[in-house]
Amino acid sequence: MGNYLKIFGMSKIVGIDLGTTNSLVATVDSGIPFVIADANGQRLTPSVVHFAAANSEAIVGHEANRVRLVKPAETVYSVKRFMGRRGAEISEEEKSVTFPVKADNAGAVTIPIHGKNYSPEEISAEILKKLKCDAENYFGEAVTRAVITVPAYFNDAQRNATKRAGELAGFTVERIVNEPTAAALAYGLDKLKEKSKIAVYDLGGGTFDLSILELNEGVFQVLSTNGNTRLGGDDLDRKIVERLKSLVVEAAGNSTSQLLHSSTLQARIREAAESAKIKLSTETEVEIALPFLTPDFSFSYKLTRTELENLTREIILRTRQHCLRALADAKLEARDLDQIILVGGQTRMPLVRKFVGELFGCAEFEEVRGGLRMGTEFHKAGGPQLNTSQNPDEAVALGAAIQAEILSGGFKNVLLLDVTPLSLGIETFGGLMNVLIPRNSTIPVKAGELFTTAMDAQREMLIHVLQGERERAKDNWTLGKFTLQFESAPRGVPRVGVQFEIDANGILHVLARDTKTGKEKIVEMKSAVDVDDSAVQKMVEESVEHAFDDLAARRWIEAKLKAQETLVATKNALTSCADEIEKDYAKKISAAARVVETALATESSDGSGDLNQLKASVLALDEITKPLADLLMDKAMEAMLRKRGLIQ
Ligand code: AMP
């Protein structure tokens, strides 16, 4: 390995799965991807960070996890849930962690420990530093480049925060890759027969994603993604904790309920709950023992798999709507899929496997074990196959390592394409959303359009960048705003090119250029949208719900703009041709213009009006002004010929 690196003079790029619960670092050696173990032989690093004292070095991983029980207020877990999010987006339930979380409305989330306010990126950077160190110990040299994975549904702010965490840890982040895409690579699905379609069902500790990918001529394309960054194994744990707490109060009396608020006890119960849940994936019942919960009370309870399933079924069923939405977005039905792959520790739970099997109509739930039969056809008659041949905890990290190897030129003929979860565009005159990059476009992607001014002597254009699925700008989310200045000119003359580029990391760069002077501004949409994924879901649902109203609003606004334009042009023409036209004709034109004005006045406070009346009146005005338009054209032609000296 060392020689290989020296010959090519390139440093190794590692693949990192920065998970909610566990994080892993992986690499590819001699064409084989594998997870790098730490000094103790552990391949999974719990995403847990402990700060023993002010200014002391962070303790990360298993050691921090052990301390978590006794020092819960100084030990941070599931920090991924806070990455790139604003205070206002954090629910009370999410704040109910055993460490302090400062989530002020507009401000960023911080975690105050020993008098220092840590950002989620700084905490994540500690995890990444530990993985970097493990990789350096393995290679015996500095490792400075990494590919890091994120849930497919992470927005720009969350992706940027992840990238920043990598940089804080001393990495150059070569690429941010969607977790399901990485998982598909790890499953070796690039070796499938051509035109295969795959669904990746990823249920981890804190996030859920369903992605539908298509393999076409050796190229992976994500057809659609849907998910929720606040749905995962932690939610199941919480359900069990609630149940255990109520059992404790039942057994030891109401006086204990106050005690149960202590963060130490909460952490103990949470750990017992998670460990019982994991055991129940292979056993049908477990004994949960919590000795000396209070000095004179020990608790024990036999939890069965059936009770666990009854407690948590509702959470697992919540993934259903995301699966259906992803299928609908990809314009596919479950039976069109060839494989469903399961990723994330929580998919080890038998109920999850059963649910996924049933939802996608998988063939007798027959799982493909021991790897895929490469290039062979699958039994499609009974629906797609449920593939669990990979270790669901490691698949994402292995895929990231494969992507890293592709970037280093090690693997060829595989290209990864991801898609945008929501449409991106700018606000145009009249308050409409002008989409530049539609939802589910494959990234990286670049798209541009030319815009002009709506008013005379306009000296600047406001570029209002929007994300969302609604027709009216005000119903979408603002990603950012900036202005481009240019020389004063009559309306419709300036030409401003606006280009959107989403890079391979899913980050949006907006460029606006005055084509006359070449003056331009490029803005990276760093702050992105201050909304969470359930809001993304809501946006998509609302766009469907309001599709009819939205379309009517767009039609009205477009007709209104055209009517206003026609009125201005008519008035100008009447003034400039006043001497050449009959008075009666001028009166008729003015009357037709008044009819248009009356139709425009039908606009109500909700921004809609009588569209038919408006269209008919504009048509009538167009019709009646035809001779006037011809006259104007003749005058313009004459002026031009005279200017060139062709006539006197
Ligand atoms: P991940 O984010 O992929 O590391 O997944 C972590 C989640 O998977 C946590 O909620 C774990 O409790 C859960 N998990 C890990 N192993 C199992 C298992 N064998 N059965 C059920 N849940 C598990």
User: Which atom of ligand 1 is closest in space to residue 234's alpha carbon?
Assistant: 10
Give SS3 for 115.
Answer: coil
Most confident of 162-171, 266-275, 474-483, 620-629: 162-171
CA separation for the pair 272, 241 (Å, rounded)? 9
Query: Residue 427 is part of a domain; what is its CATH number?
Result: 2.60.34.10
Least confidently predicted of 74-88, 318-332, 365-379, 520-534: 365-379
Structure tokens at 272: 């017992």
Per the prediction, the chain carries an average pLDDT of 86
- Which pLDDT belongs to residue 527? 39
Which are the contacts of 297, defined by CB distance < 8 A and separation ≥ 6?
A: 251, 252, 256
What is the 3-state secondary structure of 445-498? EEEEEEECCCCCCCCEEEEEEEECCCCEHHHCEEEEEEEEECCCCCCCCCCEEE
Question: Are 120 and 255 part of one and the same domain?
Answer: no
Number of separate domains in the chain = 5
Residue 395 maps to a domain: no
Residue 413 binned pLDDT confidence (cut-offs 50, 70, 90): low
Q: Verify whether residue 202 is a known catalytic residue.
A: yes
Nearest residue to 217 via CA among 188, 196, 239: 196
CA separation for the pair 136, 148 (Å, rounded)? 17
Residue 504 maps to a domain: yes
User: Which atom of ligand 1 is closest in space to residue 232's alpha carbon?
Assistant: 10
Structure tokens at 406: 């592709």
Numbers of helices and strands, H then E, in the chain: 18, 29
Question: Are 255 and 273 part of one and the same domain?
Answer: yes
Q: Verify whether residue 17 is a known catalytic residue.
A: yes
Q: Which of 94, 190, 202, 514 is catalytic?
A: 202
Query: Looking at the predicted structure, is the pLDDT value of residue 383 above 90?
Result: no
**In this structure, which residue's CA is closest to atom 7 in ligand 1?**
205
Q: Which of 12, 71, 80, 239 is catalytic?
A: 80
- Which pLDDT belongs to residue 253? 82
Query: Looking at the predicted structure, is the pLDDT value of residue 608 above 60?
Result: yes
Question: Are 305 and 368 part of one and the same domain?
Answer: no
Nearest residue to 19 via CA among 392, 352, 355: 392
Query: Looking at the predicted structure, is the pLDDT value of residue 310 above 60?
Result: yes
Question: Are 585 and 463 part of one and the same domain?
Answer: no
User: Which atom of ligand 1 is closest in space to residue 274's alpha carbon?
Assistant: 12
Alpha-carbon distance values, 260 to 3, 263, 287, 301, 584 (Å):
57, 8, 20, 17, 89
Nearest residue to 210 via CA among 191, 223, 221, 219: 223
Q: Under a CB-based contact definition with an 8 Å cutoff, are residues 43 and 35 in contact?
A: yes
Burial profile 428-464: b = 16 or more Cβ within 10 angstroms, e = fewer: bebebbebbbebbbebebebeeebebeeeebeebebb
Cα(159) to ligand 1 centroid in Å equals 23
Residue 19 maps to a domain: yes
User: Which atom of ligand 1 is closest in space to residue 206's alpha carbon?
Assistant: 2
Q: Over the stretch 31-56, which tens digit does the pLDDT of each residue have?
A: 889 999 999 999 999 999 999 999 88
Distance of CA 321 to the CA centre of its chain: 17
- Which pLDDT belongs to residue 529? 36
Nearest residue to 340 via CA among 212, 526, 240, 170: 212
Query: Residue 21 is part of a domain; what is its CATH number?
Result: 3.30.420.40
Alpha-carbon distance values, 421 to 55, 116, 439, 528 (Å):
40, 36, 6, 13
String of DSSP letters for 408-421:
TTSS-S-EEEEE-S
Query: Looking at the predicted structure, is the pLDDT value of residue 77 above 50?
Result: yes
Give the residue, out of 278, 284, 303, 354, with the most ligand 1 atoms within 8 A of its beta carbon, to mutate for a pocket test. 278
CA separation for the pair 402, 28 (Å, rounded)? 7
Query: Looking at the predicted structure, is the pLDDT value of residue 99 above 70?
Result: yes
Name the residue with higher pLDDT: 5 or 158. 158
Q: 105: domain range?
A: 13-183
Amino acid at 499: Q
Question: Are 145 and 111 part of one and the same domain?
Answer: yes
**In this structure, which residue's CA is closest to atom 3 in ligand 1?**
344
- Which pLDDT belongs to residue 414? 56
Nearest residue to 150 via CA among 225, 58, 43: 225
Cα(420) to ligand 1 centroid in Å equals 28
Stretch (H or E) spanning 151: none
Structure tokens at 416: 């990864």
Q: Verify whether residue 80 is a known catalytic residue.
A: yes
Distance of CA 192 to the CA centre of its chain: 27
Query: Residue 299 is part of a domain; what is its CATH number?
Result: 3.90.640.10
Cα(240) to ligand 1 centroid in Å equals 14
- Which pLDDT belongs to residue 9? 39
Q: Under a CB-based contact definition with an 8 Å cutoff, are residues 160 and 148 in contact?
A: no
Give SS3 for 179.
Answer: helix
Cα(205) to ligand 1 centroid in Å equals 6
Residue 590 binned pLDDT confidence (cut-offs 50, 70, 90): very high
Q: How much of the chain exceeds pLDDT 90, in percent?
A: 47
**In this structure, which residue's CA is closest to atom 18 in ligand 1?**
278
Nearest residue to 505 via CA among 39, 155, 65, 67: 155
Query: Looking at the predicted structure, is the pLDDT value of residue 535 above 80?
Result: no
Stretch (H or E) spanning 553: helix 547-576
Question: Are 510 and 610 part of one and the same domain?
Answer: no
Cα(20) to ligand 1 centroid in Å equals 10
Cα(203) to ligand 1 centroid in Å equals 8
Residue 379 binned pLDDT confidence (cut-offs 50, 70, 90): very low
Range 361-380 average pLDDT: 44
**In this structure, which residue's CA is closest to atom 22 in ligand 1?**
346
pTM attached to this predicted model? 0.63
Cα(345) to ligand 1 centroid in Å equals 3
Alpha-carbon distance values, 547 to 325, 471, 542, 550 (Å):
17, 8, 8, 5
Q: Which of 12, 17, 74, 418 is catalytic?
A: 17
Residue 251 maps to a domain: yes
- The greatest distance separating any two alpha carbons of the chain, rounded to the nearest whole angstrom, comes to 113
- Report the C-alpha dihedral over residues 602, 608, 610, 612, rounded to 10 degrees: 140
Question: Which residues line the pocket of ligand 1, CB cutoff 6 A?
Answer: 19-22, 204-205, 233-234, 274, 277-278, 281, 344-346, 348-349, 393
Name the residue with higher pLDDT: 93 or 480. 480
What is the 3-state secondary structure of 305-324? HHHHHHHHHHHHHCHHHHHH
* Cis peptide bond prior to 444, omega within 30° of 0: yes
Residue 3 maps to a domain: no
**In this structure, which residue's CA is closest to atom 9 in ligand 1?**
205
Which are the contacts of 607, defined by CB distance < 8 A and separation ≥ 6?
A: 472, 553, 556, 557
Question: Are 75 and 85 part of one and the same domain?
Answer: yes
Question: Are 38 and 175 part of one and the same domain?
Answer: yes
Name the residue with higher pLDDT: 526 or 89. 89
Nearest residue to 417 via CA among 26, 159, 152, 154: 152
Residue 633 maps to a domain: yes
Query: Looking at the predicted structure, is the pLDDT value of residue 274 above 90?
Result: yes
Residue 26 maps to a domain: yes
- Which pLDDT belongs to residue 267? 83
Phi and psi for 168 in degrees, rounded to 5?
-60, -30
Question: Are 208 and 69 part of one and the same domain?
Answer: no
Question: Are 174 and 198 part of one and the same domain?
Answer: no
Amino acid at 380: K
Which are the contacts of 597, defined by CB distance < 8 A and separation ≥ 6?
A: 567
Residue 162 maps to a domain: yes
Question: Are 279 and 328 part of one and the same domain?
Answer: no
Question: Are 215 and 334 part of one and the same domain?
Answer: yes
CA separation for the pair 632, 481 (Å, rounded)? 40
CA separation for the pair 614, 230 (Å, rounded)? 48
- Which pLDDT belongs to residue 439? 78
Identify the sign of the CA torsion 81, 87, 88, 93.
Answer: positive
Query: Looking at the predicted structure, is the pLDDT value of residue 406 above 90?
Result: no
Query: Looking at the predicted structure, is the pLDDT value of residue 425 above 60?
Result: yes
Give SS3 for 86.
Answer: strand
Query: Residue 586 is part of a domain; what is its CATH number?
Result: 1.20.1270.10
CA separation for the pair 233, 251 (Å, rounded)? 27
Domain endpoint, select from 285, 314, 343: 314
CA separation for the pair 31, 34 (Å, rounded)? 10
**In this structure, which residue's CA is closest to atom 15 in ligand 1?**
345
Alpha-carbon distance values, 261 to 78, 236, 238, 264, 435 (Å):
20, 19, 14, 9, 49
- Which pLDDT belongs to residue 10? 52
- Which pLDDT belongs to residue 641? 84
The label of the residue with tokens 């804080």 reads 168
Q: How much of the chain exceeds pLDDT 70, in percent?
A: 90
Cα(347) to ligand 1 centroid in Å equals 7
Give the residue, out of 201, 346, 356, with the most ligand 1 atoms within 8 A of its beta carbon, to mutate for a pocket test. 346
Q: Over the stretch 446-499, which tens digit does the pLDDT of each residue have?
A: 888 888 888 888 888 999 999 888 999 999 988 889 999 988 888 888 888 899
Nearest residue to 158 via CA among 80, 87, 93, 259: 80
- Which pLDDT belongs to residue 435? 92
